[in-house]
Amino acid sequence: MLTRVEVVKLIFGNLFPWSPLLHWAAGGSVVNRAMKYSAVLLKDGGPKTYKATSVIAADNTEALKKVKEWTASLDGVAEDAWLQITLNGVGIRSLRPGEF
């Protein structure tokens, strides 16, 4: 009888030296990987940046929470500042003034 690792390698070959599927086949659990999100405070939602940061989070909800904590820690946020959160250049969330 074949092990899970052998079955996965038979089906998919050795395309990647490590993958979550092989990790699972070896008996490990698949967990969310932390990703780097970018957050920017924009003037009127436009190209001018007031402040920017990045956070490490496992998912969008955790990223939003961490970014809101970051904005709360700032001395002051301009009244016309929009908050935009991105992951790999893709917009995850955009908040109008007063929503964060």
Number of H helices, E strands in the chain: 3, 4
For 2-61, how does the pLDDT look when each residue is reduced to its tens digit (9 = 90+)? 777 677 666 666 655 555 655 666 665 555 678 999 999 998 878 899 999 999 998 899
* DSSP-assigned beta bridge partners for residue 87: 37, 90
**Residues 48, 85: Cα–Cα separation, whole Å:** 15
- In angstroms, how far is the first alpha carbon of the chain from the final one? 56
pLDDT tens per residue across span 60-78 = 999 999 999 999 999 888 8
d(CA 63, CA 21): 26
How is the chain split into domains, by residue range?
Answer: 1-31, 35-95
